[in-house]
Amino acid sequence: MNDVNIYETDELVSQYCDFQYGEDIFGVENFAKVCAQKAIGYSKCTQQGKALDIGCATGRASFELTKVFDHVDGIDYSQTFIDTALELQKNGRILYAQNREGELKSSILVDMTMYSFRDSCIKARFFQGDACNLESQFNGYDLIMATNLIDRLYEPQLFLNTIHERVTNGGILLLTSPYTWREEYTAKEFWIGGYTDENGDEILALEGLKQLLEENFDLLATEEVPFVIRETSRKFQHTISQMSVWRRR
Amino acid sequence: MNDVNIYETDELVSQYCDFQYGEDIFGVENFAKVCAQKAIGYSKCTQQGKALDIGCATGRASFELTKVFDHVDGIDYSQTFIDTALELQKNGRILYAQNREGELKSSILVDMTMYSFRDSCIKARFFQGDACNLESQFNGYDLIMATNLIDRLYEPQLFLNTIHERVTNGGILLLTSPYTWREEYTAKEFWIGGYTDENGDEILALEGLKQLLEENFDLLATEEVPFVIRETSRKFQHTISQMSVWRRR
């Protein structure tokens, strides 16, 4: 087992390690684990061969999916996130710095032997990639999950308009998002919802998703899934993500 | 009753109106109300003549204090916050824009007749002022409360080192803070805690407060008080503030 260097993990990676591997906060269960479990449940009606976790961050949901799927690809825009997932897979552990107060931090160990995917995790492969410009090799998936991704893409339509080409017939597309549209991530013209259209109707994101996806998918279910991200020992982001589950026709 | 114009309230004022007058979220009770109730409780052992709510924002806790105190001063650095408190006091109502998703907002009415301080609220006076450079007229208080203030001051020592001069003997100083120290608000050299001192000891804010206040105050109690601030209909700041209650010797 190689040495781990806490200073390799930058602020955002540490925050996501805590989000994906840290302890539950306010009684809210680990979001990546819950999403993977729900994805496994919804995909029981189809094959569970190949899965894609797009926007996988530090890989927790990808690892969870390896317990059931034969093969899991995890893709993230951030090479640092991908490096962290790969380090966990290779070294079996990582240290991250959890913010407490001001400059004070705690060093937290993630130990892969503590998880039920400790043996299956080798089935995951991780790649840096852009959800809006995905390489053609990424296709033939029985499940694609994209958690808290679409409101951070520069043009989510590029992802959503072509994603059906990568899902097998009867396969599942599982999206979650709190729809926190911000111009620094997504120009207003590309927001899926959160605006008033030319007829004066308010368009919420679920309506916008239907307009983009219903040609190729049936909407199976929606669920509200909470998550909590620690900023300090006293300050947290507490968010309710909307999960929408789509089956490829 | 004058007309109210929703466009007079800017983004931050709307967020604070929602924080101070909006509905409870995640089962967490209104923070300003809870703090005022606790302040009233802790000050029962002394006179309840004059109170100061420093960093009063849109005035909710100041109004709550008028139910018991003869006279309440509310001070905030933001003139817009003070204008909002004054408008509520004068017009009895205000409309603010609650963020939902993207550009979509709901218009929410605050109606003072719904509150138990509807008659007593005239006892409050509101002023724009700087907690680090408070005018000499603000003195002789049986209670001073400063909720979520000290980690937003440019030099909290200027406030804390002189505040005893404004409190009556036996009077109460009630502070709350999540100690979210940030250099954009407070230069690192002025942080009360959240650093390692020259002996290598970790200084948390409560320790720093003791060093500044124990010469003139006894620490009566500490409590953990949660609060929630809405950013959108799905995204919230969920924070645990530490309350510390000090009695002037």
B178: left (phi over 0), alpha (psi -120 to 50) or beta: alpha
| Chain B interface test: which of A25, A99, A101 (most B C-beta within 10 Å) | A101
- Looking at chain A, the whole-number percentage of residues with pLDDT higher than 70 is 96
A231 vs B101: CB contact, 8 Å cut-off? Answer: no
Q: Which residues are CB-neighbours of A23 under 8 A, at least 6 positions away?
A: none
Q: Is the pLDDT of residue B8 over 80?
A: no
CA B186 to chain A, closest CA, distance in angstroms equals: 11
- List the one residue out of B37, B30, B178, B152 whose CA is nearest residue A101: B178
- Looking at chain A, the whole-number percentage of residues with pLDDT higher than 90 is 95
For residue range A125-162, list pLDDT tens digits in order. Answer: 999 999 999 999 999 999 999 999 999 999 999 999 99
CA B18 to chain A, closest CA, distance in angstroms equals: 16
B232 vs A193: CB contact, 8 Å cut-off? Answer: no
- The pLDDT of residue A2 is 44
- Tokens 């645990």 sit on residue: B240
Domain assignment present for residue B204? The answer is yes
B215: exposed, middle or buried (Cβ count in 10 Å: 0-12, 13-18, 19+): exposed
Chain B residues within 8 A of A193 when measuring between CB atoms: 101-102
For residue range B80-101, list pLDDT tens digits in order. Answer: 999 999 999 999 999 999 999 9
Q: Is the pLDDT of residue B6 over 90?
A: no
Mean pLDDT lowest for which of A126-130, B6-10, B26-30, B159-163?
A: B6-10
Domain of residue A152 covers 6-248
Using an 8 Å Cβ cutoff, are B201 and A202 in contact? no
- The pLDDT of residue B9 is 55
Chain A residues within 8 A of B205 when measuring between CB atoms: 101
Chain A residues within 8 A of B242 when measuring between CB atoms: 234
Chain B residues within 8 A of A191 when measuring between CB atoms: 102
Domain assignment present for residue B36? The answer is yes
B interface residues, A as partner, C-beta within 8 Å? 26, 100-104, 178-181, 188, 191, 193-196, 202, 204-205, 228, 231-232, 234-242
- The pLDDT of residue A3 is 47
- The pLDDT of residue B10 is 87
ipTM: 0.94
Using an 8 Å Cβ cutoff, are A167 and A240 in contact? no
CA B21 to chain A, closest CA, distance in angstroms equals: 20
Chain B residues within 8 A of A101 when measuring between CB atoms: 179, 181, 193-194, 204-205
A232 vs B102: CB contact, 8 Å cut-off? Answer: no
- Tokens 């605006």 sit on residue: A195
Chain centroid to Cα B203, Å, comes to 24
A101 vs B205: CB contact, 8 Å cut-off? Answer: yes
B241 vs A234: CB contact, 8 Å cut-off? Answer: yes
B194 vs A102: CB contact, 8 Å cut-off? Answer: yes
Domain assignment present for residue A233? The answer is yes
Chain B residues within 8 A of A196 when measuring between CB atoms: 103-104
The whole-model pTM stands at: 0.94
Strand boundaries in chain A, DSSP class E: 50-54, 71-76, 93-101, 104-111, 124-128, 141-147, 167-177, 195-196, 202-203, 217-230, 235-248
- Confidence grade of residue A9 (pLDDT, cut at 50, 70, 90): low
B193 vs A101: CB contact, 8 Å cut-off? Answer: yes
For residue range A20-69, list pLDDT tens digits in order. Answer: 999 999 999 999 999 999 999 999 989 999 999 999 999 999 999 999 99
- Confidence grade of residue A6 (pLDDT, cut at 50, 70, 90): very low
Domain assignment present for residue B1? The answer is no
What kind and span of H or E run contains B156?
A: helix B156-160
B237 vs A239: CB contact, 8 Å cut-off? Answer: no
B236 vs A231: CB contact, 8 Å cut-off? Answer: no
Domain assignment present for residue B210? The answer is yes
Using an 8 Å Cβ cutoff, are A249 and A219 in contact? no
Q: Is the pLDDT of residue B128 over 80?
A: yes
For residue range A164-199, list pLDDT tens digits in order. Answer: 999 999 999 999 999 999 999 999 999 999 999 999
B132, two tokens: 């680090």
Q: How many domains does chain A have?
A: 1
C-alpha separations of A39 from A1, A43, A47, A126 in Å: 32, 6, 12, 19
- The pLDDT of residue B7 is 42
CA A9 to chain B, closest CA, distance in angstroms equals: 20
CA distance between the termini of chain A: 46
- The pLDDT of residue A10 is 87
What's the CATH number where A218 sits? 3.40.50.150
Whole-angstrom distance, CA of residue B79 vs CA of residue B88 = 14
Chain A residues within 8 A of B98 when measuring between CB atoms: none
CA A179 to chain B, closest CA, distance in angstroms equals: 7
Q: Which letter does DSSP use for residue B50 in this model?
A: E
CB atoms within 10 A of CB A7: 7
Domain assignment present for residue A1? The answer is no
Q: At what angle do helices B11-21 and B31-42 cross, to 10 degrees?
A: 60
Mean of the per-residue pLDDT values of chain A: 95
Using an 8 Å Cβ cutoff, are A52 and A73 in contact? yes
| Chain A interface test: which of B24, B25, B101 (most A C-beta within 10 Å) | B101
